[in-house]
């Protein structure tokens, strides 16, 4: 176990940025992780935790600022946990994300010299976020709305959020007052999803078994100015109005516009999502049998089908699967289909049925899909396109695939989340022979 007390460390020059957001330096043969530090900074640090192979430090004094250090544009940047890198110049953020992906693949997957191109930048670095997830806490003095503080569950109240699309940012201003009509107690989460035009939908998760009545819910909708509201608790959910919106910019996607509900999975950055879809479609998939796992509401399903791929999409959430199937039906892509099923169970059944696919596309949650990777290997599908928002679990699963006959061709990072350490990656693997 590392030491829990704090003692003086020393002076170091910060070399890079790590997954998790900290600056990385070296001191007396150990790696030092220092939050709020920027590559090129010369800092004096103290030791918060001393482990066998690394040190967790605290920036005590900035001796020489890095040329890559910049002033945050949000007044809450130093306390809010939403953006960790607003003090880092954007080009340096992209360099860091490329390195984070490459390092994870080498360290965890054992793939040395992987083809990791420069990270694809976001078309917008402010006003890019189409989905906001904010915490709300109801007490005797009303409802506080904001984001968790860095490495804490303390809520930082904010007004407008400069990384959100304007329709979302504007609705944050009165969110606390709007939610006070529900008269709940405890903590919940509010999701705001922006659609085309000024249309916004909302989803609210409340503590306990409390679900308000129609009158109170409609009052919240009016004050938030949203088209619909999904209210859920541990027992179930109830829908008020229409909580579905047309995803921003999706009118330009192959196959037409896509609609999503406020309580379902949605990529937060429409501009980068379009770039990610375009990168996937650049591969030779038309006419091929494509298995899509963790398909959600059809983010990749519709564009793949529109380009001529015969898609079998698998999504465990029945509501999301039904929405994707409806979109396919409306677009007339009868060669593609959607199943509501667990991905691992579906893959296991495929092995028994002997059904064959040319390629598999998977976009699992942050925890990854190790068992799916093992079953994909057993099925012998020639080409794998793995979309991930977590370099560590991506690298773990790439390791499983490479141990079972696959070769990593490329891993292309996308800056889906500017000013954070998070990075989206499209990895392509092939089975030779």
Instruction: Clarify whether 80 is annotated catalytic.
Output: no
CA–CA distance, 129 with 165 (Å, rounded to integer): 5
The token duo for 147 is 């984001």
Q: In what order do the strands lie in the sheet with 7-13?
A: 7-13, 42-50, 54-64, 30-34, 23-27, 16-17
CA–CA distance, 382 with 405 (Å, rounded to integer): 10
CA–CA distance, 186 with 169 (Å, rounded to integer): 24
Residue 184: CB atoms within 10 Å:
22
Q: 223: helix, coil or strand? A: helix
Residue 251: CB atoms within 10 Å:
11
Does residue 146 contact residue 134 with C-beta atoms inside 8 Å?
yes
Q: Please report the sign of the dihedral spanned by the C-alpha atoms of residue 380, residue 382, residue 385, residue 391.
A: positive
Residue 59: CB atoms within 10 Å:
18
CA–CA distance, 126 with 111 (Å, rounded to integer): 35
Residue 20: CB atoms within 10 Å:
13
Q: Backbone phi, then psi, for 278, in 5-degree steps?
A: -60, -40
Does residue 275 contact residue 269 with C-beta atoms inside 8 Å?
no
Q: Which one is catalytic: 80, 136, 161, 389?
A: 389
Q: Which residues contact 336 (CB under 8 A, 6 or more apart)?
A: 301, 304, 305, 309, 310, 311, 312, 313, 328
Q: Which residues are catalytic?
A: 389
């Amino acid at each position: 176990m590392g030491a829990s007390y704090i003692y003086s460390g020393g002076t170091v020059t910060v070399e890079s940025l790590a997954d998790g957001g900290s600056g990385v330096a070296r001191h007396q043969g150990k790696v030092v992780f220092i939050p709020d530090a920027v590559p090129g900074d010369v800092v004096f640090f103290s030791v918060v935790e001393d482990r066998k192979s690394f040190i967790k430090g605290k920036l005590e004094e900035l001796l020489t600022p890095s040329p890559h250090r910049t002033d945050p544009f949000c007044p809450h940047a130093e306390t809010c946990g939403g953006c960790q890198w607003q003090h880092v110049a954007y080009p340096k953020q992209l360099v860091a994300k490329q390195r984070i992906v490459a390092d994870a693949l080498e360290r965890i997957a054992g793939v040395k010299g992987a083809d990791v191109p420069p990270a694809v930048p976001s078309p917008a670095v402010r006003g890019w976020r189409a989905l906001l997830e904010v915490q709300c806490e109801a007490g005797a003095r009303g409802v506080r709305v904001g984001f968790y503080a860095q490495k804490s569950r303390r809520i930082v109240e904010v007004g407008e959020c400069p990384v959100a699309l304007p329709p979302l940012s504007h609705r944050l201003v009165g969110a606390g007052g709007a939610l006070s009509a529900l008269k709940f107690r405890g903590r919940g989460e509010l999701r705001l999803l922006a659609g085309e035009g000024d249309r916004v939908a909302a989803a609210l998760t409340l503590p306990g078994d409390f679900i308000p009545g129609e009158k109170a819910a409609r009052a919240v909708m009016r004050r938030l100015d949203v088209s619909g509201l999904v209210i859920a608790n541990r027992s179930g959910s109830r829908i008020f109005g229409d909580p579905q919106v047309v995803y921003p910019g999706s009118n330009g996607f192959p196959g037409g516009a896509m609609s999503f509900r406020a309580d379902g999975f949605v990529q937060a950055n429409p501009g980068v999502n379009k770039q990610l879809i375009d990168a996937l479609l650049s591969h030779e998939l038309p006419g091929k049998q494509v298995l899509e796992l963790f398909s959600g509401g059809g983010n990749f399903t519709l564009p793949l089908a529109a380009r001529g791929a015969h898609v079998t999409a698998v999504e465990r959430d029945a509501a999301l699967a039904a929405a994707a199937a409806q979109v396919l039906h409306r677009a007339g892509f009868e060669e593609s289909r959607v199943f509501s099923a667990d991905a691992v169970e579906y893959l296991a059944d495929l092995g028994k049925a002997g059904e064959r696919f040319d390629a598999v596309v998977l976009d699992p949650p942050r925890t990854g899909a190790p068992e799916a990777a093992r079953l994909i290997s057993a099925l012998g599908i020639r080409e794998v396109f793995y979309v991930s928002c977590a370099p560590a679990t991506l690298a773990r699963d790439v390791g499983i695939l490479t141990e079972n006959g696959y070769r990593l061709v490329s891993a292309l990072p996308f800056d889906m989340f500017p000013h954070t350490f998070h990075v989206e990656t499209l990895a392509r693997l092939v089975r030779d022979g």
